[in-house]
Amino acid sequence: MFMRDKIDNIDIAILEILQKQARTKRNEIAEVVGLSLPSVSERISKLMEKGYISGFHTHLDPKKFELNVTAFIFVTTDLSDTSNEISIKAKAHSFVQECHSITGSGSHIMKVRVRDIDQLETFLNTVRSWSGVKNTQTNIVLSTAKETMDLPVREIKS
């Protein structure tokens, strides 16, 4: 898809700007990339149509909501047909920020944010009660050096 759609360096620059600050005014983007406001608006619309931009999001500070504990939970299932069931249950739970089906020693990894260790323990007991869950392994985050949803669009293009 990436090469077939033939986005150029100006599109890349627009994506980088919006990725850093989605609320950047289009006239500011136009000034940076050297295009007119209508040209930038058209390019953004096309990038949305092509699926490069899937939405504009607000990043909330977890600590302001007293979500002070971040953990990664590896889930191992004993049945191969429970994989989809685990994903569905994880998607429905508000503490789960990410859920991925993985290779290796587990079948899934979930990133969760909770208030405290007690809430984490309660959630772990919930996960362990799900059908097909054999065991869990939990890693609690002590500190975060980098956390981003930004993609290296310039490096991917080259």
* Per-residue pLDDT reduced to its tens digit, 10-62: 999 999 999 999 999 999 999 999 999 999 999 999 999 999 999 988 889 99
Q: Is residue 95 part of a domain?
A: yes
- Asked if residue 2 has pLDDT above 50, the reply is no
Distance CA 45, CA 70 (A): 36
- pLDDT greater than 70 at residue 138: yes
Query: What element of type H or E holds 13?
Result: helix 9-20
pLDDT at 5 over 80: no
CATH number at residue 19: 1.10.10.10
Q: What is the pTM of this model?
A: 0.81
Is 25 within a domain?
yes
Residues 69 and 130 in one domain: yes
CB distance 112 to 141 below 8 Å: no
68, 134: one domain: yes
Residue 155 placed within a domain: no
Could you tell me the CA-to-CA distances from 37 to 44, 51, 56, 114 in Å, in that order?
A: 11, 21, 19, 43
pLDDT for position 1: 42
Give yes or no for residue 150 having a pLDDT over 50. yes
State which residues form the domain around 18.
Answer: 2-57
Is 87 a member of any domain? yes
Number of domains, the chain: 2
Nearest to 127 by CA among 100, 90, 152, 84: 90
Q: What residues form DSSP beta bridges with 100? A: 109
* Tokens representing residue 147 in the block: 């956390």
70 and 133 co-located in one domain = yes
Query: Each residue of 75-92: pLDDT tens digit?
Result: 999 876 667 889 999 999
Residue 119: what pLDDT? Answer: 98
Residue 156 in any domain: the answer is no
